[in-house]
Structure 1
Amino acid sequence: MHFQLTEDQSALRAGVRQLLEARFDRDALRAAVDDPALDRALWRELGDAGFFALRLPEAEGGVGLGLPEAVLAFEEAGRVLLPGPLVATHLAAGAVPGAATGEAVVTRADSGLVTWLEEADEVLGDVAGAVAVRSVDPLTPLHRLRGGGGPGPGPEAVLLTAAEQVGSAARTTELAVRHAKERKQFGRPIGGFQAVKHLCARMLVRTELARTAVYAASVTADPVEIAGAKLLADEAAVRGARDCLQVHGGMGFTWEADVHLHLKRAWVRAELWQTAAESEELLAAALR
């Protein structure tokens, strides 16, 4: 099985990255932290670009691509910490009017936690008794379902969330390496010190391992492989952000640094759709 991207897939990834760099750069990220209301104009631009309709058949007004291509797009979204119920709206394309075009914001109430409930135009599932909770991530408002939620929307939501985690892990690796090259102590870049080298190397290995697992699962769409990919992606995102904080030292813990935002989003994503415990149970059952 080969995992080299095709020319079309590479072009898709480049196009999504170009769009997000133009519309959701670091200044926009910081503005969103100060004012966390969902950017409806950006949401519609994502719809116009085909982000939500990526897997919708062309006969239904979609792009007509597959799960591997969606994974690439969501990886880029995770890289820049794009806010909003991206997975739920993507999965609702073709089922909820306006979801495919970005005219409607859709969230789901079947994973225990509901994101962006108050901003959503359409909520799939029962939110009776949903209670607002303080979210560790300033860019992800949360409500908790008293009943713990239903069975969830299926493995696709788990995989797309894992793809976002991979994008975040890749970005924190980039941030750590860049800082290690620029920051100097004792007259030399800190990247020259063995301890820092090892931190960055482990971040890279975890990210690439998770990316390979996510890409493979996008081809097979096997729920067990998706569970394994989510476990690896959650670990890469959470531990990668922690290691990135370590490389940055004291300044990494300041509000001005972006690293803490990646860690907080990774914590939230790790609890969405399929937790580590649920993934482990699925894998254990398959092994039995």
Structure 2
Amino acid sequence: MDFRLTEEQQDLQAGVRGLLAGRYGREALRASVDSGGALDRALWRELGEAGFFALRLPEAEGGVGLGLPEAVLVFEEAGRALLPGPLVATHLAAGTVPGAAAGTAVVTAFDLGDLRGGGRPLVAHLADADAVLGTPLLPSGEPVRSADPLTPLHRVAAPGSAAATYRDEGALLTAALQAGSALRTVELAVRYAQEREQFGQPIGAFQAVKHLCAQMLVRAEVARTAVYAAAVTADPAEVAGAKLLADGAAVRNARDCLQVHGGMGFTWEADVHLHLKRAWVRAEQWRTAGEAEELLAEELLAAELLTAGG
């Protein structure tokens, strides 16, 4: 099976990267942080006009008519840019919620666990949402402190459905966001290692820093490969494996990037901590590490029993 990107896929990825660089660069990112994570509706509509949410809708229904592999490429770029908002849920709702495909409606989902909330689940971006995926009613909720300043959270009174029919797709697209973040923190670490000098030379010349950056790159590329493969096969076990690898790569790479930056990385002015905080939240969305491990263990056990029985 050939997993190399086609010329059209490369053009799509480059186009999305260019769009986000022009529309959601560092100044816009920092403006989002300063606003307390409030969703930029104008940006959301622009994403809709660009086909971000309607990417997999058939052309006969006003969509772009592409597939899951192309969606993964687009979401990887969104993760690289730290684009905020319930991107996955709105994309998944494009064919069912009016306005979602065009970006005129914001759709969130019950994709987070209760995180020791006594059975009361968390919902991201509830205050900005027009609908919840797979649920006819928009619940009320109590705002709670979020680790990520760009992912406001509300705790709702009653448990909600995580829209099980979308779970694998949601997990894969979230894994693509994580892979994009992991790749971006590699770039941030390498750039800083080339610029920052100690003892008269860039810190990137030191073997310890070289090894750290190399480990980050391997981690990110392995995760990206797993995400691409799962997008082609759409196998639930491969999706679970991709989410597990991408979550680990996003969190560990952000931590290593902080280490390369040293004390500077822990300041509010640096962007590294935003990648780490977003990675923590995404790791709890759609499919957690524990859930992915359970699914993979079941698949391995089933394969082992089949082999033994044969």
TM-score under structure 1 normalisation? Answer: 0.97
**8 Å CA contact 1:111, 1:150 repeated in 2:** no
Closer/same/farther in 2, CA of residues 282 and 130 from structure 1, 3 Å limit = farther
- Show the 5 A alignment for 1:6-155: 6-35=6-35, 36-112=37-113, 113-124=122-133, 125=135, 130-145=141-156, 149-152=160-163, 153-155=166-168
Q: CA deviation at 1:229?
A: 0.3
Q: Distance in 1 between matches of 2:193 and 2:66?
A: 39
Among 156, 160, 173, which residue is 2:173 paired with?
A: 160
Q: Distance in 2 between matches of 1:164 and 1:262?
A: 11
Q: Distance in 2 between matches of 1:208 and 1:144?
A: 35
Q: Distance in 2 between matches of 1:101 and 1:129?
A: 25
Q: CA deviation at 1:122?
A: 1.1
Q: CA deviation at 1:147?
A: 5.9
Q: Distance in 1 between matches of 2:9 and 2:155?
A: 37
Q: Distance in 2 between matches of 1:73 and 1:65?
A: 11
One-letter identity of the residue aligned with 2:149: P
Q: Distance in 1 between matches of 2:124 and 2:273?
A: 20
Q: Distance in 2 between matches of 1:149 and 1:284?
A: 27
Residue aligning to 1:268:
281
Q: CA deviation at 1:77?
A: 0.3
Q: Distance in 2 between matches of 1:123 and 1:284?
A: 31
One-letter identity of the residue aligned with 2:126: L
CA offsets per residue over residues 185-243 of structure 1, 9 Å max, x none? 00111011111011100000000000000000000001100000000000100000000
Bigger Cα displacement from structure 2, 151-160 vs 180-189: 151-160
Number of equivalenced pairs: 288
Q: CA deviation at 1:108?
A: 1.2
Rg larger in structure: 2
Q: CA deviation at 1:28?
A: 0.3
Q: Distance in 2 between matches of 1:231 and 1:157?
A: 13
Q: Distance in 1 between matches of 2:104 and 2:212?
A: 43
CA offsets per residue over residues 120-143 of structure 1, 9 Å max, x none? 011233665744321010000112
Bigger Cα displacement from structure 2, 105-114 vs 67-76: 105-114
Closer/same/farther in 2, CA of residues 286 and 127 from structure 1, 3 Å limit = farther
Closer/same/farther in 2, CA of residues 109 and 130 from structure 1, 3 Å limit = farther
Q: CA deviation at 1:8?
A: 0.6
**8 Å CA contact 1:109, 1:127 repeated in 2:** no
Closer/same/farther in 2, CA of residues 82 and 237 from structure 1, 3 Å limit = same
Query: Are 2:221 and 1:212 aligned?
Result: no
**8 Å CA contact 2:130, 2:138 repeated in 1:** no
One-letter identity of the residue aligned with 2:151: T
Q: Distance in 2 between matches of 1:219 and 1:8?
A: 16
Identity, % of aligned positions: 74
Unaligned runs of 5+ in 2: 114-121, 302-310
Bigger Cα displacement from structure 2, 102-111 vs 59-68: 102-111
Query: Are 2:292 and 1:283 aligned?
Result: no
Closer/same/farther in 2, CA of residues 253 and 120 from structure 1, 3 Å limit = same
Bigger Cα displacement from structure 2, 103-112 vs 204-213: 103-112
CA offsets per residue over residues 231-258 of structure 1, 9 Å max, x none? 0000100000000000000000000000
Closer/same/farther in 2, CA of residues 151 and 85 from structure 1, 3 Å limit = closer
One-letter identity of the residue aligned with 1:118: A
Bigger Cα displacement from structure 2, 159-168 vs 105-114: 105-114
Unaligned runs of 5+ in 1: none
Q: Distance in 1 between matches of 2:227 and 2:58?
A: 23
**8 Å CA contact 1:76, 1:164 repeated in 2:** yes
**8 Å CA contact 2:109, 2:162 repeated in 1:** no
Q: CA deviation at 1:2?
A: 1.5
Q: Distance in 1 between matches of 2:70 and 2:244?
A: 21
Q: CA deviation at 1:276?
A: 0.4
Q: CA RMSD in A?
A: 1.4
Q: Distance in 1 between matches of 2:105 and 2:143?
A: 22
